[in-house]
Structure 1
Amino acid sequence: MATYINTSGLELDVFPNNGEKFTLKELQKLVDGYIERIAMPNGQAMYINEEGKLNDLPWNSKATTILKLHGLIPNDYIVGDVVILSNEEED
């Protein structure tokens, strides 16, 4: 089970179509574009829209806070919808 977080802070549990691992297309659909993977020290990864800032997507405060709490992106921020999943759910 992965967690989808949209820019308004709504969190939803999401599952891969095959029940085990997310495909590239599934991740791209969740973030609405090309993906960028951010490894987190707790064995999870956050997938974000790679072109989110170029496309002027809205700020995602919840995703930004999560990464900052893990000591990541100290001088940056996240935009657009994101999905957080465990390494076992990655294709």
Structure 2
Amino acid sequence: MIFTKTEFLTRSKLQIKTLELWIEHEWVIPQDSADGSIFSEADLARVHFIRELEDKVGANDAGIDVILHLLDQLHGMRRAFEQLQSEMRTVKSYPLSG
């Protein structure tokens, strides 16, 4: 599901200044559209995760930066591994000649 900025603020229960700060920190990265910024379900989940880091873990801004960077790296590695697995399955399905 895709949200406009107004819908996202309502669903996330963020204040506009907080959202703008988090966008500046690149903790949340909306996509640009002709109608302005749009947000995804993943962005909403990320907001909830950041709130948990702040409220339940007690992470400060520097800690959140590190945690989100590591999380993004992990997701990138997972995508690369899945792509590698897919390519390996494709190669296995073609017999070697010669």
* Normalised-by-shorter TM-score class: under 0.3
Larger proportion of strand: 1
Higher gyration radius (CA): 2
TM-score by structure 1 length?
A: 0.25
Structure 1 or 2: more helix by fraction: 2
